Amino acid sequence: MSFPTPLRLSGRENLPFISALLGTTGVFVLLIVSLLVANLMFVDGTHIKAALDSPEIIWAIKLSLVTCTITAVLSVVVAVPAGYLLARVPFRGRALVDALVDVPIVLPPIVVGLALLLLFNQTDIGRWLEGIVSTVLAWFNDIAPGIMRWLGMEGPGRRGLTFDIPGVILAQWAVASAFAIRTMRVAFEQTDDRRERVALVLGCTRRQAFQWVALPEVKQGIIAAGTLAWARALGEFGPILVFAGATRMKTEVLPTTVFLEMNVGNVEAAATVSLLMVAVAMTVLLSARALGARIGV
């Protein structure tokens, strides 16, 4: 059964209930608005113009957009099968895997960064993996130098993970994908697996039932997971600082810019970049919702 019109709460008898809803929501919204106003008090037109004229900040905006988008895509690529596995497939050790997936969510971000640094800098397997990434990047540099130049990764020098742009993506992905997996798990759990069972009886393999029946039912979950991963990646700072560094015009994303500007006492620039982040985040989140509405999910 579906209810096409929104449930309305009107009338005197509902007043206390509506007041409670508005009051609790209002406290949180007021906090967010206050934070934005506090930032705005330090920013005027000249600061915004100076920020947009700054090659370092433009670089940070570009790098943030590119890395967050790549991270969101990679997170969804992992989250869809992982969420399905955890939601639908019973296997020994599922509770353990489920708990491990949540580790990046509960750990302090800086601990994730430290663990990444130790893995890729101090262990043989980590160095071997970094070698593979370097080889792939060198190959990509040969076949698509234009893209690498646009990413600021062109040239003959050896590129890798640690203290480099791929490290920014890996640091973002390590945390963002945990949120995406959680979202996809819930999305699969909320759909009725009876339809997949029917598909199996009618001749589908598990892969076909997943691809043709289960996956179209979680379109909304995929958009939500991607959006959440993107937003989480945009705000990621701790792991990036430790694992990829805070080098201007190299591994500098928007949170790094805020950190660097605050370190030199330039509060106005830090506040301006913070507001830019809010603007970028709102634009992308609203666009994702509009896209979701347009494709009917």
Partner 1 sequence: MLELRSISIEAGGFVLEGLDLQVETGTWASIMGPTGSGKTTVLEAVCGLRQVTAGSIWIGGDVVTHALPRHRGIGLVPQDGALFAGMRVEAMLGLPLRARGVRRGTRRRQVREMADRLGIRGLLRRTADGLSGGERQRIALGRALIHEPRLLCLDEPLSAIDRDTGSSLRALLTDLRDTGSVTVLHVTHDELEVRALAHTIWRMEDGVLAKLDETDHATNAR
Give the pair of three-digit tokens for residue 227: 């959006």
82-104: burial string, b at 16+ Cβ within 10 Å, e else? bbbbbbbeeeeeeeeeeeebeeb
**Binding string to partner 1 for residues 24 to 53, with x set by CB under 8 A, is what?**
------------------------------
C-alpha radius of gyration, the chain, whole number: 22
Stretch that binds partner 1, among 80-88, 139-147, 157-165, 197-205 (CB under 8 A): 197-205
Question: What distance in Å separates the CA atoms of residue 27 and residue 30, rounded to the nearest whole number?
Answer: 5
CB 236 within 8 A of CB 110: no
Stretch that binds partner 1, among 83-91, 186-194, 255-263, 280-288 (CB under 8 A): 186-194
By CB under 8 A, tell whether 294 contacts partner 1: no
Interface residues for partner 1 in 200-229 (CB under 8 A)? 200-205, 208, 212-213, 216-217, 219
**Binding string to partner 1 for residues 143 to 182, with x set by CB under 8 A, is what?**
----------------------------------------
Which residue's entry shows tokens 């988008």?
69
Q: Which one, 156 or 203, has the nearer CB to partner 1? A: 203
Give the pair of three-digit tokens for residue 201: 């009886």
Sole binder of partner 1 in the list 13, 53, 124, 192 (CB under 8 A): 192
> 3-class secondary structure for 198-209?
HHHHCCCCHHHH
Interface residues for partner 1 in 218-277 (CB under 8 A)? 219
Residues at the contact surface with partner 1, assessed by CB under 8 A? 191-192, 194-195, 197-205, 208, 212-213, 216-217, 219
